[in-house]
Amino acid sequence: MKLKSAATKALFAGAALVAMSAASPAFAQQTGEVDALKAQVKELLSRIEKLEKAAPAAAPAAGAGSASAAPAAPKDVPLVSASAFKAPQIVQSGNSKLKLTLTGWVNRMVTYADDGVANDFIFSDNNGASTRIRFTGVAKLNDEWSAGTDIELEAISANSRSTGLYTDSGAFAFSERKLELFIESTRFGRLWVGQGDTASNITSEIDLSGTANLGGYADVGATFGGIGIRAKGTKATVGTVNSLFNDLDGLHREDRVRYDTPTFAGGFVGSTSVTQGGAMDAALRYNGKIGTTTVAGAVAYANSDSRDVAGFDFGNQYNGSVSARLENGFNVTFAAGTREQKAGFDTNFWYGKVGYLAKLNDLGNTAFSVDYFTQDDFAVRGAKGKAYGAYVVQVIDALSTDLYAGVRNHQYDRPNVSYYDALAVMTGARVRF
């Protein structure tokens, strides 16, 4: 928007009104009307000046190929008249010293599931990247010190982690993902306080394939988690995919205090946190390039023995993941972990994925991948879970939209009991704002 040009035109319009009032007797006799027009022009100039000062500077382009680079800002989409996009898009904070950003997305999918006994369609929200809205605020004291806030709310109707065949979507509700603040120094690192990611969260889920979260990734229960596993013979449901498969991904999100070091040694960051209830963890992450290959990875330790909540009361846990993407788009991902369970025996898992990411058309990047997950002794001694699938994601840059589809088969076994496979095929879309 060319504010200076608009201001110039308004100024000439005001000058013309003044000239006409001086040259014409009719205008001279209507001094009150002319004064009113002058006041309107003055108010218009004042508004233009405010818009010009408030207009944000152009953001620098994100680094190509960087695993940590923020996604490109969405382009204007002509869903309404073109004139609606002429004004600058500004999120105004009530505090002029703080820069406020509003982001989020809506992510819906349709799944066809067959648990060996029943089959039907499921209409759900994809929990791998659930529908959400996020407000982040950042303020700078100087070149070294800054502070900020992060409020991220999840709005799920029919959560794919818990919605299965013939189950109701449940009542709609907002739930907290992040309610936190931070203080950061370029020399000393960042201190987080509040509800948010623990140091070990997402350390089993580092993935550069382009199909993570939307298609399939190490968190097997996220996308098809509500589908039941049934025993042959009795046809009874012994659990869901979400309750019988687990990628041991740290301490998740908690009310905690967390510290992150500054980036060191060319891409490493160390983190540690202590949660409400006394659980603690630590992690080391890497994000960078080795030659022309983009590499990201993490290793973590967590202990939740102090808590007495089923599923969260484990002893020592070690887990990690690494993903590498070649310059030509081919990529590989690997994750593994082990946990000391209260039942007195350990559970272990490992996960592998091979993928290809490239720009095959003018719409945006296209990603393909196949993966395999296996786990032993989760919750029950002798239990074994396997899952394998294939996925595709097509980005449509002009619409800030990701289209995706995938298929995954889930197998589960216990000593002396046979179970049906649970097969799921899904397709969906995420629209980002």
Give the C-alpha separation, 198 to 173, whole Å: 24
Read off the pLDDT of residues 153-180 as tens digits, 9 standing for 90 and up: 999 999 999 999 988 777 777 899 999 9
Per-residue pLDDT at 168: 78
Per-residue pLDDT at 343: 87
Beta-carbon-side half-sphere exposure of residue 214 (alpha carbons within 13 Å): 27
Phi, psi of 327 (to 5 degrees): -60, -30
The residues with which 99 forms a beta bridge, in sequence order, are 138
Q: Characterize the bridge pairing of strands 268-275 and 422-432.
A: unpaired
Give the C-alpha separation, 195 to 32, whole Å: 60
Per-residue pLDDT at 96: 80
Mean pLDDT of 244-270: 96
Output the CATH code of domain 102-432.
Answer: 2.40.160.10
Read off the pLDDT of residues 191-215 as tens digits, 9 standing for 90 and up: 999 999 999 999 999 999 999 999 8
Minimum mean pLDDT range among 24-33, 58-67, 104-113, 132-141: 58-67
Q: Is 306 exposed, middle or buried (0-12, 13-18, 19+ CB in 10 A)?
A: exposed
Average pLDDT of every residue of the chain? 85
Q: Is the pLDDT of residue 20 over 60?
A: no
Read off the pLDDT of residues 309-334 as tens digits, 9 standing for 90 and up: 666 789 999 999 999 999 999 999 99
Task: Write the secondary structure of the chain as one string of H (helix), E (strand) and C (coil).
Answer: CCHHHHHHHHHHHHHHHHHHHHHCHHHHHCHHHHHHHHHHHHHHHHHHHHHHHHCCCCCCCCCCCCCCCCCCCCCCCCCCCHHHHCCCCCCCCCCCCCEEEEEEEEEEEEEEEECCCCEEEEEEECHHHCCEEEEEEEEECCCCEEEEEEEEEEEECCECCCCCCCCCCCCCEEEEEEEEEEEEECCCEEEEEEEEECCCCCCCCCCCCCCCCCCCCCCHHHHHCCCEEEECCCCCEEEEHHHHCCCCCCCCEEEEEEEECCCECCCEEEEEEEECCCCEEEEEEEEEEECCEEEEEEEEEEECCCCCCCCCCCCEEEEEEEEEECCCCEEEEEEEEEEECCCCCEEEEEEEEEEEEECCCCCCCEEEEEEEEEEECCCCCCCEEEEEEEEEEEEEHHHCEEEEEEEEEEEEEECCECECCEEEEEEEEEEEC
Taking the CA atoms of residue 192, residue 197, residue 201 and residue 206 in that order, the dihedral angle to the nearest 10 degrees is: -100
- Model's pTM, two decimal places? 0.78
Per-residue pLDDT at 1: 44
Give the C-alpha separation, 303 to 245, whole Å: 20
Residues 155 and 169: beta-carbon distance below 8 Å? no
Percent share of the chain, pLDDT over 70: 78
Query: How would residue 37 be classed by pLDDT, with cut points 50, 70 and 90?
Result: low
Query: How would residue 340 be classed by pLDDT, with cut points 50, 70 and 90?
Result: very high
Q: Is the pLDDT of residue 268 over 90?
A: yes
Q: Is the pLDDT of residue 122 over 50?
A: yes
Minimum mean pLDDT range among 9-23, 37-51, 268-282: 9-23
